[in-house]
Chains A and B, each alone.
Chain A
Amino acid sequence: MSHQSTLIELRGVSKRYGSVEALRDVDLAVQTRQIVAVVGDNGAGKSTLVHVLAGLVQPDAGSIAVRGETVRLDSVAKAAELGIASAFQQPQFCENLDVSANIFLGREMRQGLSVRDDAGMYAKAREVLNTLSTPVRAGQSIASLSGGQRQTVAIARTLLNDPSLIVLDEPTASLSVTQTAEVLDYIVRLRSAERSVIMVCHDLPNVFAIADRIVVMRHGAVCAVHATADTTYEEVIAEISGVSKGAVATRMRARASRARMPRSGEAE
């Protein structure tokens, strides 16, 4: 009963933009209660993959199954219906509206048939923002927010409909360190609440801190999938960049010796 089951499975997914092969025969499976990190260099196909999962981009080939049933993710609404919510790298907002209205944009709560339930939306928005421990307020105008605060609102937006899979593109980029702590902690809490997370992330220490699986992409293809406990920085960096593991290890040793750490015996 409590055994993990496959939540979503991509098989042979490909996508071509003109002559560019953005995704090449990608296989990816995500279990329930699992955090999967997708890492790779710029242009490796991470964002396209995220767009496919969000229902924004249609693959040219391959199939997607959610809980064992083959589905077509042909719109964001369809993805939401299947319990997939996403937040993107540079979240787009309506600059003239406040935070609450932006969180509910396109899915406003209503009283009866036509009256918008502003008070209800405020209360719910406040609740979601509070769980993220952010000082962003529901009534603040979006235009007054910093980049990190915008990211927080984007994540808050994904949590409204109680999704089972949350897709995050660079969730901690442009966040301050305490906000990063909150977001990482929150992702871990999502996992504890039996949710799954796919997260594109450049920051390897954060990936190793919270991910269960690490998917390495290169030139549009998945080139390796690791259980986090069974791999090392060196291996993942080598696969991302395509250089040998030995070369990476040498560079990392050089970096470690450059990093100025007060050691025992040094005069302080």
Chain B
Amino acid sequence: MLVCMAGRFSKKKLGSQSSLREANRANLLESIHKFGAMTQVELAEIMGVSTATISALVHQLSDEGQLETHGTVRNGRRAQLVTLAHHNGLAAGVHITRRGLRVVLCDDTRSPYMEHHYPLARNHLPDTTLDIAARMIRESLQQMDAGADELLAIGVALGAPVDKRTGMLAVPGLLPGWEDVDVAAAFREMFDVPVLVDNDANMSAFCEARVGAGSGIEDFVYVNVGDGVGAGIVRGGEVHHGVTGLAGEIGHIQVDPLGAICQCGNRGCLNTIVDEQRLTSLLAVTHGDLTLNDLVLKANAGDPGCRRVIADAAVRIGNVASTLCISVDPELVVVGGELAQAGEVFLDPFREALQRLLFPDALTPIAVLEAKLPKINGALGAGIMAMENEEREALNGGRSQKGKQGEGDESSVDVD
């Protein structure tokens, strides 16, 4: 009977009983990930299945520790509010770039919840942006039905190099207007929790190392190709920062001594020939106004001009990435960021350019993989890093935390 109801409302093709249950289970978890806490009746409505099906699934998932239920009141009636289990509190990850702000929550299982992206104007102002970020964190917590005290830490990934010693931008001009803003202090003041600030390529590398394409790999390099290029170096499973936090800033390796002046003040940096403005301007005459995203979409749709622009950029970036690979000898190169969304259009020429400049007879060639979480790895990495930092502090400082779980469950985490 339930199958009939599900069929009637969702018009899905029916398979076997168990595959239907599997699909409903995935659908239920996804709905709560996306919309936050909901009652069973609301879940039934949103998924188009009966309340009995939901009730059975919720029981099963609560037993497995994935969901929690609380009694609540909706429209004057008693109801069961279903939330994701967040046993040991939550961390917020914030990713601020030149054109956008992403906020995501995560718990100690390192799964992302309540991910939101807010587009920002070029040269956005720190006070407005930080205010939006704070409101997004508060609303996301609310949507998860989590109290303010469940927020344990905040991680912030900035789209510019960050000096680890001070938490401030290491190089002026790359995130205009943010040079002397103490982001960590601002969030600490608003939420009264520990705050960790780092460069976004580092955070993304960290995320890929924990739950992404580089999980289980000790030494690899993460290359972020979006509006400009950055890289994060993972050594022994941890991000290598260098003394001032500038390690891996390959976007500022010089590729043309007579090239244009870069925002960093130097001349002919890789970024001056592969940033959004340069790439889209190459197509201005034939294609009109494009954004980086348009460029990638059109390339994926087969537009030859856009494919050419991306392939040429991939070669230039691959050439520089090979320098980094020779310096640090990684097992793997993980590529993420907006341009990497072009898939093989970017990856094939990148791989080729990289391999050509590495040792031709090396016994183990360096593999190139796409990032597993290309959109959210900056924000999620920030959240996970803040969470781990907090867990470490709690262990060291002996702060009493209820029901701490071991780190052994790392391998069973699946984020997708």
Residue numbers of A with Cβ under 8 A of B are 2-4, 31, 33-34, 119, 122-123, 126, 133-135, 137-140, 176-178, 180-182, 184-185, 188, 192, 205-210, 212, 227, 229, 256, 259-264, 266, 268
A178 touches B143 (CB 8 A): yes
- The answer to whether B8 and A119 have CB atoms under 8 Å apart is yes
Residue of B at shortest CB range from A120?
B11
Q: List 12 A–B pairs whose Cβ atoms lie within 8 Å, in order of A's numbering.
A: A4-B288, A123-B9, A123-B48, A133-B34, A177-B118, A192-B293, A205-B124, A209-B99, A209-B119, A256-B125, A261-B181, A262-B189
- Using A122-B9, A123-B10 as known contacts, say yes or no to A208 and B122 having CB atoms under 8 A apart: yes
Mark contacts of B83-126 with chain A using CB atoms, 8 A cut-off: 1 yes-contact digit, 0 otherwise: 00000000000000001000000000000001011111110111
B9 touches A119 (CB 8 A): yes
Residue B139 lies at the interface, judged by CB distance under 8 Å to chain A: yes
Q: Is A2 within 8 A of B135, CB to CB?
A: no
> A126 contacts which of B48, B116, B181, B288 (Cβ < 8 Å)?
B48
A139 vs B41: C-alpha distance when bound (angstroms): 11
Looking at chain B's contact residues, the main secondary structure is: helix
Smallest Cβ-Cβ distance to B42: which chain A residue: A137
Contact of A176 among B11, B121, B139 (CB under 8 A): B139
Complex CA–CA separation, A229 to B277 (angstroms): 11
Does A181 lie within 8 Å of B118, measured CB to CB? yes
- B120–A209 CB distance below 8 A: yes
A268-B9 contact given A178-B136, A181-B116, CB 8 Å threshold: no
Q: Tell me whether A137 and B127 are in contact in the complex, defined as CB-CB below 8 angstroms, given that A2-B303, A181-B116, A268-B182 are known contacts.
A: no
- Give the chain B neighbours of A4 by CB distance below 8 A: 287-289
Q: How far is the CB of A178 from chain B (nearest CB, A)?
A: 5
Interchain CA distance A256-B260 in the complex, whole Å: 32
Is B212 located at the chain interface by the 8 A CB criterion? no
Which of B35, B121, B298 is the one whose CB lies under 8 Å from A2?
B298
B278-305 contacts to A, CB under 8 A, are 286-289, 293-294, 297-298, 303
B185 at interface by CB-CB < 8 Å = yes
B2 sits at the interface (CB 8 A):
no
Establish whether residues B139 and A177, one from each chain, have CB atoms under 8 Å apart when the complex forms. Answer: yes
The one of B114, B119, B136, B181 in contact with A188, judged by C-beta atoms closer than 8 angstroms, is: B119
Q: In the complex where A3-B286, A180-B118 touch, is A135 in contact with B38 (Cβ < 8 A)?
A: yes
New contact pairs (16) apart from A122-B9, A208-B121, CB-CB < 8 Å: A133-B34, A135-B36, A140-B45, A176-B139, A177-B136, A181-B118, A181-B119, A184-B118, A185-B119, A205-B124, A206-B119, A209-B99, A227-B289, A261-B186, A264-B166, A268-B188
Query: Which residues on the B side are within 8 Å of A123 (C-beta)?
Result: 9-11, 48
Contact flag A205-B128 (CB < 8 Å), given A181-B136, A182-B116, A184-B118: yes
Query: Of all chain B residues, which has the CB nearest A176?
Result: B139
Please measure, in the bound complex, the distance between the C-alpha atom of A207 and the C-alpha atom of B122, giving whole angstroms: 11
Task: Identify B45's interface contact among A137, A180, A210, A212, CB under 8 A.
Answer: A137
Complex formed: what's the CA distance from A181 to B83 in Å?
Answer: 22
Given contacts A2-B287, A184-B118, contact A192 B35 (CB under 8 A): no
Q: Is B322 an interface residue (CB 8 A)?
A: no
Kindly name the residue among A4, A176, A208, A264 whose own CB sees the greatest number of chain B CB atoms within 10 A. A264
Are B186 and A229 in contact, CB atoms less than 8 angstroms apart?
no
Please state if A178 and B288 are interface contacts (CB–CB under 8 Å): no
User: Once the chains are docked, how many angstroms separate the CA of A223 from the CA of B189?
Assistant: 43
Interface digits, B38-52 against A, CB 8 Å rule (1 contact, 0 not)? 100010011010000
CB distance from A233 to the nearest CB of B (A): 8
Contacts of B121 in A (CB 8 A): 205-209
A140: nearest residue on chain B (CB-CB)? B45
Q: Is B168 part of the binding interface, using a Cβ–Cβ cutoff of 8 Å?
A: yes
Closest residue of A by beta carbon distance from B100: A209
Could you tell me the distance in whole angstroms from the C-beta of A150 to the nearest C-beta in chain B?
A: 17
- Residue in A135, A177, A263 with the greatest tally of chain B CB atoms within 10 Å: A177
